[in-house]
Amino acid sequence: MVVYSYIRARCYYLLLGQLSLTPHSVLSFFAGRENAKPSVFIFHPSADQLSGGSATVVCLVSDFYPSAVNVVWKMDKTSTTTGVLTSTKQQDSSDSTYSLSSTLTLTKDQYNSHNEYSCEVTHETVQGAIVKSFKRSECSQ
């Protein structure tokens, strides 16, 4: 959306020319809070879980605003959607930021057949993506 605006404030005139707005920036403006960059954390499966034959990798995304966010899972640099479950976004009533969790659930054999696991988060406050990853071979189980 392109907005042209002519604002008169007291005796000062300001021509705002071209201002590119996204639907999220408009909502952020009217919500009365500034955008917030997400914090991202990744957790490998526990040894106890692996001994039971399954593996869940968890990505926590917290303290972001506005709510539009995208999470992509990669195993050895290849995107996957199989076994991925992303929670609905929860809004914190104290500061209006959002949080969510995304899990990648695999069998122990599937988990052991890959080495690098990453969670990539895109949000309008970040150029590119926030990437958190670990190498299975470097995790002490």
CATH code, 100:
2.60.40.10
Q: Is residue 141 part of a domain?
A: no
Per the CB < 8 A criterion, the answer to whether 59 and 120 are in contact is no
Residue 63 is predicted with a pLDDT of: 95
Lowest mean pLDDT among 17-26, 88-97, 104-113, 121-130: 17-26
The mean pLDDT value for 19-47 works out to 73
Digit-coded pLDDT (tens) for 57-110: 999 999 999 999 999 999 999 999 999 999 988 888 889 999 999 999 999 999
Torsion angles phi and psi, residue 71, rounded to 5: -120, 130
Residues 118 and 94 in one domain: yes
Q: Which residues constitute the domain of residue 72?
A: 39-136
* pTM of the shown model: 0.76
- Alpha carbon 59 to chain centroid, angstroms: 9
pLDDT over 60 at 19, yes or no: no
- What average pLDDT does the segment 99-126 reach? 97
- Residue 85 token pair: 């479950």
Residues 53 and 24 in one domain: no
Kindly tell me if the per-residue pLDDT of 132 is higher than 70: yes
Instruction: Please indicate, yes or no, if residue 95 is contained in any of the structural domains.
Output: yes
